[in-house]
Amino acid sequence: MDELWGDAKVSSESTHPGLQWFTEDKYAMFIHWGLYSEMAGVWKGKTYYGIGEWLMHMAEIPVEEYKAYARNFNPDQFDATQLVRLAKAAGMKTIVVTSKHHDGFAMFDSKASEFTVTKATPYQGDLMRELADACQEEGLRFGFYYSQNKDWTEPYATSYKGERPVGYTPADFERYFNQKVVPQVTELLTNYGPIAMIWFDTPGGMDKAYSAKLVELVQSYQPNCLVNSRIGGGYGHYVSLGDMHIPPVRPDYEVWETVDTTNDSWSYAWYDQNWKSPKTICEHLVRVLARGGSYMLNVGPKGDGSLPAKVVETLTVSGDWVRSHSEAIYGTEASPFDQGFSWGDITQKGNHLYLHIFDWPESGLLRLADLGTQVTAASLLHDSSTVVFSQEGSILEVMLGEVSGRDLPIVPVVKLQLKAPAKVENHATQVDGFSTVKLLAEMADVEACEITERRWMEKFGEWKHDYFVDQWNSLESLASWDLNVLEAGDYSISLEYSCEPEAANSEWVLSLGDNSLTFITYESGFDSNNSFHRGPPRQRNHSMSLGVLTIPESGLQTLKLIPRNLLGAGIGVKAITLTPFH
């Protein structure tokens, strides 16, 4: 069990009726909105940097003071229809909103609690009803986020400090669960029309039986309603990956999603201006779809219900792109390749491939191997203009230079018409002879070493992660990357790695066939920690140029990294980069 997000296994059969729309629609809006949005990251004049909805925890606000703050929550600028229309304009098909986050405050009318928007605030209206009605009206699906395990204002759930009251027994949690969670989830399932999904979160160590009970509850009232894997206990109809995790290699899960946010915090925080650009939003959406997932992008309205201007702007611009490229988004399947490319990524539908170009190749040429079928036409999706291409043997070349002068969308998409659906037999990383190729730890095959995830927070709760090949435990340890080399030649190689003091001066060999580069590493140091960092200090990464490696012939080959001597647990390899040496 992942202590934060629950088991990423789903036991329910994948024939749940909701999975059809889920896998077809691809793109949803997530909304984090509550009492904390009015606080905006500030308590008693002090700003707490981190995810805004955790302010109660960060500022250690006493329960009674937090509850009393509800008197300040009056979202009189909230316009549910406007918000739903923005989601629609952004190309999103579903809205999932925080009905109750970890602070326990219900954004709906609930008989099971006094701490609700209807009873504890001057606003008194049921915000969830307004949104549910607007979604119904505008033809969007509607779902609820519900924090089932954490409830910081209830004495018998876990407190925000992670503590239990003196004399606490498991029966106390059961009381909280039966007196608040069950009735509230029932209210959500019975008072707001058809519910597309209930998005549960942070099951932590919650007993599996509670997760099972919630699944049953949802099933009994709304059999079409989906439940995500963060319900815990291995339940759920599909897998929610860790926050903001966009996997570079296709994951093993059949149905999964990535949740991401428009800036850094989930809920509104006054200082957080780290907005994703419209192009980044489109890129994240495509990268997720290309690996076979669905994408849910969060917005954080302010306490008065209005949205930060940048959210409206970025969603409107990215939405124009999504809607004008809808053919390459909705109802598509994952790329036939397990991983993306340095120039962009691919979605497919039937006999069509859609090449989404994030970084225009300097060569003006895009090379792709092993589609396993013939390409019969190529055009730009937004204006149907023809794109010149050639296909010889297994290699397709698309002449982008021809179209580069034209007025192009933020992410140009080349539509390929194929004779039959693409059939890719080989998923090795393609080295096309033009582009810089980054081989990540997640893409490696390993023997006698491990691929480990390192997670950290820069501001509180804003999880970041990287993968490393580490724990080299013998001189037989090996990390390797399969390459499909389309052009033989010289490549400059660089290495991004971390190195603890014990592994300093360790020697390594990177080889491909008979050619190799031998190098020595040095200590990369540690990043300074912030006050909330738990666990061992975070190692810093270092980038080092290893030299020029000759790849004498094209075709399938394997790049191998082995230790020459073993010091400590060896280095942590984050990435190896190959750049054509011209």
In the complex, the smallest distance separating the C-beta of residue 51 from ligand FHN, rounded to whole angstroms, is 5
DSSP 220-266: HH-TT-EEBGGGSTT-SSBEEPSTT---SB--S-SSEEEEEESSS-S
In the complex, the smallest distance separating the C-beta of residue 96 from ligand FHN, rounded to whole angstroms, is 10
Site for ligand FHN in 89-118 (CB under 6 A): none
Residue 354 in the binding site for ligand FHN (CB under 6 A): no
CB 115 within 8 A of CB 104: yes
Kindly give, in sequence order, each residue whose CB lies less than 8 Å from that of residue 45, ignoring residues fewer than 6 positions away.
none
Return the number of the residue (302 or 415) whose C-beta is nearest ligand FHN. Answer: 302
In the complex, the smallest distance separating the C-beta of residue 121 from ligand FHN, rounded to whole angstroms, is 21
Residue 391 in the binding site for ligand FHN (CB under 6 A): no
Residue 210 in the binding site for ligand FHN (CB under 6 A): no
Region of 48-56, 74-82, 135-143, 380-388 interacting with ligand FHN (CB under 6 A): 48-56
In the complex, the smallest distance separating the C-beta of residue 169 from ligand FHN, rounded to whole angstroms, is 25
Site for ligand FHN in 447-506 (CB under 6 A): none
In the complex, the smallest distance separating the C-beta of residue 244 from ligand FHN, rounded to whole angstroms, is 8
Return the number of the residue (201 or 272) whose C-beta is nearest ligand FHN. Answer: 201
Q: How far apart are CA 286 and CA 355, in angstroms?
A: 10
Region of 47-55, 319-327, 387-395, 525-533 interacting with ligand FHN (CB under 6 A): 47-55
Identified binder of ligand FHN from the candidate list 39, 51, 132, 486, rule CB under 6 A: 51
In the complex, the smallest distance separating the C-beta of residue 149 from ligand FHN, rounded to whole angstroms, is 10
- The site that binds ligand FHN (CB under 6 A) totals a number of residues, namely 9
Region of 46-54, 104-112, 325-333, 411-419 interacting with ligand FHN (CB under 6 A): 46-54
What would you report as the CA-atom Rg of the chain, rounded to the nearest whole angstrom? 25
Q: How far apart are CA 255 and CA 354, in angstroms?
A: 21
Identified binder of ligand FHN from the candidate list 109, 201, 260, 442, rule CB under 6 A: 201
Return the number of the residue (302 or 325) whose C-beta is nearest ligand FHN. Answer: 302
Return the number of the residue (25 or 243) whose C-beta is nearest ligand FHN. Answer: 243
Return the number of the residue (32 or 325) whose C-beta is nearest ligand FHN. Answer: 32
Token pair belonging to 123:
């606003």
Q: Tell me whether strands 256-261 and 239-240 are parallel, antiparallel or unpaired.
A: parallel
In the complex, the smallest distance separating the C-beta of residue 247 from ligand FHN, rounded to whole angstroms, is 16
Region of 51-59, 171-179, 214-222, 406-414 interacting with ligand FHN (CB under 6 A): 51-59
CB 1 within 8 A of CB 235: no
Region of 50-58, 376-384, 420-428, 477-485 interacting with ligand FHN (CB under 6 A): 50-58
Q: How far apart are CA 519 and CA 516, in angstroms?
A: 10
In the complex, the smallest distance separating the C-beta of residue 455 from ligand FHN, rounded to whole angstroms, is 11
CA angle 15, 18, 20 (to 5 degrees): 70
Return the number of the residue (231 or 413) whose C-beta is nearest ligand FHN. Answer: 231
Of residues 445, 451, 549, the one with CA closest to residue 494: 549
In the complex, the smallest distance separating the C-beta of residue 466 from ligand FHN, rounded to whole angstroms, is 17
Return the number of the residue (75 or 461) whose C-beta is nearest ligand FHN. Answer: 461
Token pair belonging to 95:
């809205």
In the complex, the smallest distance separating the C-beta of residue 365 from ligand FHN, rounded to whole angstroms, is 40
Residue 345 in the binding site for ligand FHN (CB under 6 A): no
Residue 202 in the binding site for ligand FHN (CB under 6 A): yes
Of residues 415, 325, 327, the one with CA closest to residue 379: 415
Residue 53 in the binding site for ligand FHN (CB under 6 A): yes
Residue 68: CB atoms within 10 Å: 11
Return the number of the residue (247 or 572) whose C-beta is nearest ligand FHN. Answer: 247
Token pair belonging to 575:
């990435």
In the complex, the smallest distance separating the C-beta of residue 8 from ligand FHN, rounded to whole angstroms, is 13
The size of the chain, in residues, is 582
SS3 269: coil
Of residues 295, 292, 270, 273, the one with CA closest to residue 283: 295
Region of 49-57, 250-258, 423-431, 479-487 interacting with ligand FHN (CB under 6 A): 49-57
Q: How far apart are CA 581 and CA 494, in angstroms?
A: 12
Q: How far apart are CA 348 and CA 334, in angstroms?
A: 6
Residue 370 in the binding site for ligand FHN (CB under 6 A): no
Q: How far apart are CA 156 and CA 205, in angstroms?
A: 15
Site for ligand FHN in 236-295 (CB under 6 A): 243, 259, 266
Q: Provide the H-helix boundaries in 301-345.
A: 309-324
Residue 235 in the binding site for ligand FHN (CB under 6 A): no
In the complex, the smallest distance separating the C-beta of residue 53 from ligand FHN, rounded to whole angstroms, is 5
Cα 145–chain centre separation: 17
> Across the chain, how many H-helices and E-strands are there?
12, 29
CB 181 within 8 A of CB 158: no
CB 356 within 8 A of CB 344: yes
Kindly give, in sequence order, each residue whose CB lies less than 8 Å from that of residue 334, ignoring residues fewer than 6 positions away.
250, 289, 290, 291, 292, 347, 348
Q: Which residues bind ligand FHN (CB under 6 A)?
A: 4, 51, 53-54, 201-202, 243, 259, 266
